[in-house]
Structure 1
Amino acid sequence: MSVLKTYKLFVGGKFPRSESGRVYEVTDSKGGWLANAPLSSRKDARDAVSAARKAFGGWSGATAYNRGQVLYRVAEMLEGRREQFAAEVADAEGRTPAAAAAQVDAAIDRWVWYAGWSDKVAQIAGSANPVAGPYFNLSTPEPTGVVAVLAPQESSLLGLVSVVAPAIATGNTVVVVTSERSPLPALSLAEVLATSDVPGGVVNVLSGRAAELGPPLASHQDVNAIDLAGAQGELAVELEIAAADNLKRVRRPAPVDWTADPGTDRMLGFLETKTVWHPTGALGAAGSAY
Structure 2
Amino acid sequence: MSEQSRLSVFKTYKLYVGGKFPRSESGRVYEVTDSKGGSWLANAPQASRKDARDAVVAARKAFGGWSGATAYNRGQVLYRVAEMLEGRREQFVREVAEAEGLSKSKAGAAVDAAVDRWVWYAGWTDKIAQVVGGANPVAGPYFNLSTPEPTGVVAVLAPQDSSLLGLVSVLAPVIATGSTAVVVASEAAPLPALSFGEVLATSDVPGGVVNILSGRTAELATPLASHQDVNALDLTGASVDLARTLEEAAADNLKRVRRPAPEDWSTDPGTSRLTAWLETKTVWHPIGV
TM-score range, shorter chain: over 0.9
Distance 1:170 1:245 in 2: 25
Q: Name the SS of the counterpart of 2:123 in structure 1.
A: helix
- 1:205 aligns with 212
Aligned-pair distance for 1:4? 3.2
Aligned-pair distance for 1:259? 0.6
- 1:177 aligns with 184
Aligned-pair distance for 1:5? 2.4
- 1:137 aligns with 144
Aligned-pair distance for 1:88? 0.4
Any gaps of 5 or more consecutive residues in structure 1?
283-290
Distance 2:214 2:201 in 1: 17
TM-superposition CA deviations, 1:161-188 (whole Å, max 9, x none)? 0000000000000000000000000000
Q: How do residues 1-290 of structure 1 correspond to structure 2 at under 5 angstroms? A: 1-29=7-35, 30-281=37-288
CA contact (8 A) 1:147 1:167 kept: yes
CA contact (8 A) 1:4 1:36 kept: no
CA RMSD of aligned residues (A): 0.7
Aligned-pair distance for 1:281? 2.5
Aligned-pair distance for 1:3? 4.4
Percent of residue pairs identical: 80
Aligned-pair distance for 1:101? 0.1
TM-superposition CA deviations, 1:206-256 (whole Å, max 9, x none)? 000111001100000000000000001210100011001220000000000
TM-superposition CA deviations, 1:63-117 (whole Å, max 9, x none)? 0000000000000000000011000000000001000000000000011000000
Q: Name the SS of the counterpart of 1:149 in structure 2.
A: strand
Distance 1:94 1:4 in 2: 20
Structure 1 stretches (4+) deviating beyond 6 angstroms? none
Aligned AA (1:92)? A
Distance 1:75 1:132 in 2: 46
CA contact (8 A) 1:5 1:36 kept: no
Distance 2:87 2:138 in 1: 52
Q: Name the SS of the counterpart of 1:36 in structure 2.
A: strand
Q: Name the SS of the counterpart of 1:16 in structure 2.
A: coil
CA contact (8 A) 1:145 1:173 kept: yes
Q: Name the SS of the counterpart of 2:99 in structure 1.
A: helix
TM-score, length-normalised on structure 2? 0.96
Aligned AA (1:106)? A
Aligned residues: 282
CA contact (8 A) 1:126 1:138 kept: yes
Distance 1:2 1:41 in 2: 30
Distance 2:124 2:159 in 1: 23
Q: Name the SS of the counterpart of 2:47 in structure 1.
A: coil
TM-score, length-normalised on structure 1? 0.96
Any gaps of 5 or more consecutive residues in structure 2?
1-6
TM-superposition CA deviations, 1:10-37 (whole Å, max 9, x none)? 0000001111000011111110111111
CA contact (8 A) 1:86 1:104 kept: yes
